[in-house]
Chain A
Amino acid sequence: MLVLWAPGAQAAGLSPRDILQRIDYLHAEDRHRTSYVWDGRFRTLNGDRYNMRHLYQSKRPQINAKLGWLAHESANWRVTVPMHFDNGYRAALYRARPFLGLGLVTQWATSQRMVVGLHLQDALKLGGKVSERACYDGFRRRFHCGTGLPWTDAGQYLRQSNVSTLVKFTLNWTF
C-alpha cells in the first residue's frame, strides 16, 4: 500500500516521513475478509459426511488491509480517506476478485469540547465480485460443495461480497 501511494505522494512534495505522518491508522491481516468462504464440510440428505475443504483453500495469498490517509488536518477540521483493500480469494470452487474500497471521513471540531463527524466507509467499491463453481459426483451431477445441495438448489445460498457501505454520523463530547 505504501509503495503504491508513494509516487503520488512524492509528486505532491511529501517526504517518506510526511507519508508516515499522513497514515492515520493501518490494520492488516493475512485473511480474506470481503466474503465468507465455505469450509467445504457438509452432510448430504442420506447422512453421508463430506470434507471438501481442499476445494475451498485459496491458492492466492490472503491479505486484508485498512488504512486511513490523513488528507487534511487543521485546527478544527480533519479529513481522512479510509481505504480498504482485499487481495481476493482463488480456490478451485470459489473465487473473489480483489477489492478496493474508498471512503471519506470528515471531523469538525465545533468547540474545544465537541467534535462532529461524518463517516463514509467503502462508499466507492471496486472489484470484490464472488463467483462459485459446482463440484461433480461420479455421474457428473452438479452439486454445491459448500452445502451438499444439488447445484440447481444452491442459487439462493451462493455467496456475494459482504462489504457494505457504512454511513455514520458521530458527535463526540469531551467532559
Chain B
Amino acid sequence: MPLSSENTDYLNSTANIDLLEESSALAFVATRDTNAEAAWDMGWTGRGVKVGHLDDFATKEIPSEVSGRNLSHGDATLSVTYQVSPEMTHATRQLTFDCDVSSLQQHQQTQTGYQYFSDNGFHIVNNSFGISRYYTAPCGGTPGLYSNTDWASAIDSTLTDPVFLNMAGAINDTTSYDENMLFVFSAGNEGEFCRDGTGACNLQAAAILKLRETEPTAGARVLYVGSLSDASSVSEITGLPKALAPYSHTAGDMKNDYIVAHDDIFYYQQGIGTSFAAPRVVGAAALVRQKFPTLNGANLKQVLLQSADDLGAPGVDEIFGHGQLNVINALSPIDGLSE
C-alpha cells in the first residue's frame, strides 16, 4: 500500500521508504499479531492520519533479514507502525541515541520534534525512548541505579521542563501541544532490574505520577506500552497463559495508562524491546483516528485502553494494565450505543 511521507529529516530517508515498499509484499508479523488486516478489508488503513516518529534514524545497527541491510532504530519502529497502518501520512524527526550527543542536544531535538508535529497537525507521536531508573549504561559498563536522591532530583527536574509539561501536563493548559495529539511511549526495557512498574522505573512516567498530585489530568494524552513475551505468541496457539516479556516494565502505578502488545519487528521471535510494541499501538491509533476523526488525544487513548483484551488478574492490574491491544475491538462500539 502507498505510504505518504512528508518532511522526513533523517539520513537516507529514501532508503527508508524503499525498505518499507520492498517489504510490503511480506506478510508482516505486526499485521498478523494485531489482526490489522481485518481492518484493512474494511478500508481502514490509517489514510489521512498524520503520524510522527521521534527516533534515531541515523544509526544503522539493527540487522534486517528482510532487505539484507541494517536498519536504524527509527527505521524499525516506523516499519512496525507501517505494518499496522500502511496508508498513514508520516513524518520523522531525528533524536540521536549516541554517547557523543549531549543530553541537552537530545532535549533540543525532542523539543524541535514535538513542536514540528504540533505545528503541522500531527495526531499521534511514537516515542520509543525514555530514561530508566535502572539504566543500562549505553556507553559501556554495567547496569547501574540512580540513587534515591538522584532519582527524586531527576523527577523534579523533569517537572520544570517545558517540553515535558507541554506534552504531559494538564490538557487544558494553554501552552500544551495540540489537544488532538496522542503521545505513545514504550514502557522501558529494564524490567529484569525493576519489576516495580513503569511509574517506578521510567522517569517520565514517574514525573507524570508526581504531577498528578496537583494536576489530576496530567498525562491524559500519554500512553505507555509494554511487551508481551514471544512465548505469548505461541500461547495464542497452545492456549498457555500470556506473559509479559521479562525485560518489559510492568504496569505498576501507571496501570491506567498502560497497554501491552507484541514487539517483533518483521518476523516472529525478532522482538527486542518495548520500542517495537509502542508502534503497534500507534498504528492501531491511526486506524481508529481515521474513522473517528473527532476523537481528541485523551479520548483516543481511552478507546485503545477500554477496548483491550483483559489479561492476568480480572480488570486493570499492575502487570498488564488494561491488557492486550485489540485493534478490532477499538474500531467497534464501546459501552453500547444510544441516540
Contact = CB atoms under 8 A, between A and B. Distances in A.
B38 A45 contact: yes
A170 interface: no
B335 A137 contact: yes
A147 B337 CA distance: 13
B302 interface: yes
A74 interface: no
A139 B339 contact: no
Interface in A135-168: 135-143, 145, 148, 150, 152-153
Contact of A139 (B290, B291, B293, B299): B299
Contacts of A44: 332-333
A6 to B, nearest CB: 41
Contacts of B334: 137-139, 141
Contact of B292 (A45, A92, A141): A141
Interface string A45-81: 1101010100100000000000000000000000000
10 contacts: A45-B38, A136-B339, A137-B334, A137-B335, A138-B334, A138-B335, A139-B299, A139-B302, A143-B333, A152-B293
Interface in B316-338: 326, 328-329, 331-338
A143 B268 CA distance: 36
A142 B292 CA distance: 7
Given A136-B337, A136-B338, A48 B332 contact: yes
B337 A150 contact: no
A157 to B, nearest CB: 13
Interface of A: 44-46, 48, 50, 52, 55, 92-93, 133, 135-143, 145, 148, 150, 152-153
A137 B333 CA distance: 5
Interface residues of B, number: 26
Given A139-B302, A152-B293, A153-B291, A46 B337 contact: no
Given A137-B334, A139-B306, A153-B43, 9 more contacts: A44-B332, A138-B306, A138-B334, A139-B299, A141-B295, A141-B303, A143-B333, A145-B337, A150-B331
Contacts of B125: none
Contact of A45 (B39, B290, B337): B39
Given A55-B339, A93-B339, A145-B337, A46 B292 contact: no
B42 interface: yes
Given A135-B337, A135-B339, A142-B292, A46 B332 contact: yes
Interface string B281-312: 00000000011111100010011001000000
Contacts of B331: 45-46, 150
A46 B303 contact: no
Query: Which of A45, A135, A145 has the largest count of B CB atoms less than 10 A from its CB?
Result: A45
Given A92-B339, A136-B338, A48 B43 contact: no
Contacts of A52: 337
B329 A46 contact: yes
A133 B39 CA distance: 24
Given A135-B339, A138-B335, A143-B337, A153 B42 contact: yes
